[in-house]
Amino acid sequence: MNFTKKQTQKLVKACINNDRGAQEALYKLYYAEMMQVCLSYLADEELAGEAFNTGFLTVFESIQNFDAARGGLGAWIRKIMVYSSIDLYRSELKFEKVSDDLPELETEFMPPSVLGKLYYEDILQHIRTLPYATQTVFMLSVLDGFSHREISEQLNISEGTSRWHLSEAKKQLRSLLTGKPAAALPTERRGERK
């Protein structure tokens, strides 16, 4: 979406004034990108569509809160879509409580040659095989850049539980992508490279 700052301001102002044409233009402009965001979190197209529509309702209801000085319109809408997708399944998420007193977690090493062979859809397909709670934490952390603190607040889990889910997701994905059992994979401790 390569809108100039002036074009974005004009579109946002028209949406604030409930200009139906501007709202339709905004919806169409971001439809494909934001639907993909929802589909990343919700494998079911019907649920993703529901999250998308709920998200856009939120966008239109709170467009007056958009602040261009804090970031782009697309990033602002994306964050709303992520929250909308998570909210749709929040009541069904079952997070295993993990103690915050965990030993230092290992970071698994993924050879670049493996990553270079995969496309986004292939990776997403593998991510969707993870348990839903682990999948959600992985996507929030890796794809959307949320901190463990932000994830714990959004999902109502501890930061330790968030870290465990991320570590578990990486371990399971590595095993899926390399075809090796998790125990046979090389690991590295934080700050070390093997």
The 10s digit of each residue's pLDDT in 173-189 is 888 877 777 654 444 43
Domain that holds residue 145: 112-190
In a domain, 50, yes or no: yes
Q: Above 90 in pLDDT, residue 53?
A: yes
Q: Is 165 contained in some domain? A: yes
Classify residue 107: in a domain, yes or no.
no
pLDDT score, position 6? 86
What are the tens digits of pLDDT across the range 83-100?
898 888 765 555 545 555
Q: What global pTM score does this model have?
A: 0.62
Query: Is position 98 within any domain?
Result: no
Mean pLDDT of the chain: 80
The count of domains in the chain is: 2
| Residues 75 and 125 grouped into a single domain | no
Question: How crowded is residue 103: how many other Cβ atoms within 10 Å of its Cβ?
Answer: 5
CATH number for the domain harbouring residue 143: 1.10.10.10
Q: Would you say residue 145 lies in a domain?
A: yes
Q: What pLDDT, in 10s, does the model give residues 119-136?
A: 566 777 888 888 888 989
In whole angstroms, how far apart are CA 142 and each of 40, 80, 123, 148, 159? 12, 17, 12, 11, 15
Q: Band of the pLDDT at 114, cuts 50, 70, 90?
A: low
Residue 47 covered by a domain: yes
**Same domain flag for 72 and 18:** yes
Please tell me the distance from the alpha carbon of residue 155 to that of residue 167, in angstroms, as a whole number: 17
According to DSSP, the β-strands at 187-188 and 107-108 are antiparallel
Intra-chain end-to-end CA distance of the chain, in Å: 41
- The structure tokens listed for 17 are 């004034």
Same domain, 86 and 118: no
